[in-house]
Amino acid sequence: MFERYVVQNLNIMKENQDHFEVLRKIDKVKKTSQRKLAEDLGFSLGKLNYCLKALQKKGLVKIRNFQKNPDKINYIRYIITPKGISVRTNLTISFMKRKMKEYDELKKELENK
C-alpha cells in the first residue's frame, strides 16, 4: 500500500516536472512545431502531445493554428493562459524549494564526512 502511494507521488511529481518544462519552453518560443518543441524538450512526440492536451484540458494553455502562415499545418501558436502563468509560477517555486532542500542535504552530508 505504501509503495503504491510512493509510486503515485513520484508519477505526479514527474508529470508536474514535465508540465513545468513545457510551460517554460512555450513561454520562450511562441511559434514552433510540435516536432521541434518535442525535440527541444527531449520528449517523444507522443509524450509532448499528451502533455499539451493535459495542459489545455486544465486551462493552462491555448493552442491556435496560424491563420496567415502558408505552413499553418506545421506551426501552432501556444499561448499560456493567466491560470497557466500562475501554475507555472507555483511549479517554479516548488522546484526551487525542492532543489534548495537537496542542496542543504548534500551540504550536510559533505560536512559530516
- pLDDT tens across 34-71, in order? 888 999 999 999 999 999 999 999 998 887 766 555 55
Cell, residue 12: 505526479
Neighbours of 84 (CB within 10 A): 22
Q: How many domains does the chain have?
A: 1
| CA separation for the pair 23, 11 (Å, rounded) | 18
- Judged on CB neighbours under 10 Å (0-12, 13-18, 19+), 112 is exposed
Question: Is this prediction's pTM over 0.85?
Answer: no
Share of the chain residues as helix, strand and coil, in percent rounded to the nearest 5 = 70, 10, 20
Domain hosting residue 67, numbered range: 2-111
Least confident of 19-33, 37-51, 68-82, 86-100: 68-82
pLDDT at position 15, please? 79
Per the model's pLDDT, the better-predicted residue between 70 and 87 turns out to be 87
pLDDT at position 99, please? 86
CATH of the domain at 19: 1.10.10.10
